[in-house]
């Protein structure tokens, strides 16, 4: 599978992040967030990202119990310019009905399950656990380097970042839910160390 995605927008105060976060804090009755006073200035967001994925069936029985999905992403633009290479090893049921779990930050929104050739007699559900790893070679990152066209705050970026994750996904027809935990190596030199995070992702596939 190969896809190209173009992103156009604005980053900085005009994106409304401070308003949205503080309104939510008001809704749940917590203090307003700090740090927005030092937010980077407005800048145009233009990014073109290309992604390639290939699925390798590792189950000779034909039931789709094990597979490997290799992927490569090229990002070019004002937010991120980088190359990402990764792979996802899955164990589960009816794996040939999906392209696996994708991370929002490092993948395109296009997920064409119709491109997968599966027998019509097979149930329209899938379940799997996965182990995922990737390496990122980063040329520029707005979040660490600062703005592209004017002076702003920034930190010394790590040019290579590794990420490993484990998780589980349940998919029925075109709807899926995933829970995962992940670890990332330092993204900038003064970072304390490895960053651990988790997520719950709902997705409608088309």
Provide the pLDDT for residue 96: 81
Complete domains list, the chain, with CATH: 49-204 (2.40.128.140)
Provide the pLDDT for residue 204: 78
> Which segments within the chain are labelled E, that is strand?
2-11, 43-57, 66-77, 80-93, 125-141, 160-172, 175-184, 195-204
Are residues 86 and 133 in contact, defined by beta-carbon separation less than 8 angstroms? yes
Provide the pLDDT for residue 136: 97
> The tokens of 26 are what?
């008001």
- Residue ranges of the chain whose pLDDT lies below 70: 62-63, 104-123, 205-206
Provide the pLDDT for residue 39: 87
Residues 134-179 have pLDDT tens digits of 999 999 999 899 988 888 888 999 999 999 999 999 988 778 899 9
């Amino acid at each position: 599978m190969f896809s190209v995605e173009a992103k156009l927008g604005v980053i900085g105060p005009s994106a409304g992040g401070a308003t949205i976060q503080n309104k939510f804090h008001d809704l749940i009755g917590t203090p307003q967030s700090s740090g927005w006073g030092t937010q980077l200035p407005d800048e145009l967001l233009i990014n073109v990202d290309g992604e390639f994925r290939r699925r390798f069936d590792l189950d000779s029985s034909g039931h789709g119990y094990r597979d490997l999905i290799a992927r490569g992403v090229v990002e070019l633009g004002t937010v991120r310019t980088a190359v990402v290479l990764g792979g996802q090893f899955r164990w589960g049921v009816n794996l040939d009905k999906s392209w696996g779990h994708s991370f929002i930050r490092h993948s395109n929104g296009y997920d064409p399950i119709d491109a997968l050739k599966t027998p019509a007699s097979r149930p329209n559900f899938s379940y799997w656990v996965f182990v995922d790893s990737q390496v990122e070679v980063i040329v520029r990152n707005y979040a660490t380097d600062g703005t592209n066209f004017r002076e702003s705050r920034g930190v010394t970026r790590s040019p290579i970042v590794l990420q490993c994750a484990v998780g589980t996904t349940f998919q029925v027809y075109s709807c899926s839910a995933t829970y995962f935990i992940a670890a990332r190596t330092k993204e900038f030199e003064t970072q304390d160390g490895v960053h651990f995070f988790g997520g719950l992702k709902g997705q409608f596939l088309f």
